[in-house]
Structure 1
């Protein structure tokens, strides 16, 4: 009994060291540079979140993104400091809890899963689609917390609409719009992503009864409405139905 309790306590401690609550949502601390909308797998590691990017889809359409500009607190700054160290970067500012004006960071979240799914089901992403068919445990990064220079954070704060664009090969940028006009493009790699949130894919069939990606859900949620968590399960269900 004591051994079981000790093991549970150890697991809780390890998980708490690898996650942090950002705006009341649990996110993972990034041990390596990570970009929004990239696809990959999590490799087992007791001490860090070892997410390995394995696929970058081609986005012919822009993807709507939401933003939250938030002040650091002790918890989030600790996560940022840890992530910066793991990524071999130096912290670009200091945090003093007693000062009223706290440094800020940005939470970016994909708001348009429908367009992401459309892109992944298209022929120009055939290689990524085939990869997801064979690797059901692959996830997509749908939320990140990222630090930019103050000037860029101010620009993002003023933006009325944000979109993820893919004008460069296997590289995403953040486009800022005001009055329906593009006024700034930001390279995501210019910031430091210190936490992220993963989502999983659900599979189903189109009107031609061909397997396609039909939904993006939170990492630990279950697929519903007859959707399946893997391509293989869709094929298995089809074969069972035929029989």
Structure 2
């Protein structure tokens, strides 16, 4: 009986840890490639491998606000980082006897409304049509990234950080400082070692065309009357009901 109670109590603790975010890092997927926020593609994951094949990127109307959180490496994130590093001399270590630990950034797409507006704009019409047909693409919406001191000091002193199309087919970080400074930092200047994705939710616009309405977590539910299948948002014509 005691064994059963211990097992039940352990299960409760595990569920509580998952629901409260204690195991948050486990939801961030390691990849062999280095895509960035704003990339659209097909994600497939298993216990052994995680794979993301890029289909395209969203052409932004204007820059989009990002959320940036600085975090200390733990053993889990450190392993993910070191697995991505090509040169062993760039490996990071956590020394228990030293209180100062290496840090990384959790970068998330915070202005989802602005990003969705760009997705539905004219310049992304071909991408939206592609997403309607394939139905299995996702958006890379979050990543863990490590920068050297040269770039991290600029991010640490930032007032705001944005995602922008710095050139055709590519994204960069725009870092705005409190003293009206502006820096462009390329994702390639850091090491991306963890990723998370969102799926699309659709609605019908005034032209009765399916458009992106919101995002949802992988395998999650779409909010309100939005649908994960773009074909299910089409309203029937009055003549079809007769």
Q: Same fold (TM over 0.5)?
A: yes
Quick one: distance in 2 between partners of 1:197 and 1:241?
Answer: 44
Give unpaired runs (5+ residues) of structure 2: 1-21
Answer with 1 or 2: which has the greater Rg: 2
Q: Which moved more, 1:171-180 or 1:90-99?
A: 90-99
TM-score by length of 1: 0.82
Partner of 1:104: 103
Quick one: distance in 2 between partners of 1:211 and 1:114?
Answer: 17
Q: Which moved more, 1:104-113 or 1:212-221?
A: 212-221
Q: Is the CA contact 1:69–1:153 (under 8 Å) kept in the aligned structure 2? A: no
Give unpaired runs (5+ residues) of structure 1: 1-19
Quick one: distance in 1 between partners of 2:75 and 2:114?
Answer: 36
Q: CA deviation at 1:31?
A: 1.8
String of CA shifts for 1:4-60, please: whole Å, max 9, x gaps: xxxxxxxxxxxxxxxx945x6721112211111111102466521111111111112
Q: Sort the Cα spacing of 1:191 and 1:90 in 2 relative to 1 into closer, same or farther, 3 A.
A: farther
Q: 1:60-139 to 2 correspondence within 5 Å?
A: 60-84=61-85, 88=86, 90=88, 92-98=90-96, 99-139=98-138
Q: Sort the Cα spacing of 1:25 and 1:180 in 2 relative to 1 into closer, same or farther, 3 A.
A: farther
Q: CA deviation at 1:203?
A: 0.4
Partner of 1:3: none
Quick one: distance in 2 between partners of 1:70 and 1:215?
Answer: 28
Quick one: distance in 2 between partners of 1:241 and 1:199?
Answer: 37
Quick one: distance in 1 between partners of 2:224 and 2:130?
Answer: 24
Partner of 1:30: 31
Partner of 2:58: 57
Q: Sort the Cα spacing of 1:123 and 1:53 in 2 relative to 1 into closer, same or farther, 3 A.
A: same
Quick one: distance in 2 between partners of 1:92 and 1:35?
Answer: 21
| CA-based RMSD | 2.3
Quick one: distance in 2 between partners of 1:119 and 1:108?
Answer: 19
Partner of 2:228: 229
Quick one: distance in 2 between partners of 1:193 and 1:240?
Answer: 51
Number of residue equivalences = 219
Q: CA deviation at 1:96?
A: 2.6
Q: Classify the secondary structure of the residue corresponding to 2:188.
A: helix
Q: Is the CA contact 2:116–2:214 (under 8 Å) kept in the aligned structure 1? A: yes
Q: Sort the Cα spacing of 1:182 and 1:53 in 2 relative to 1 into closer, same or farther, 3 A.
A: farther
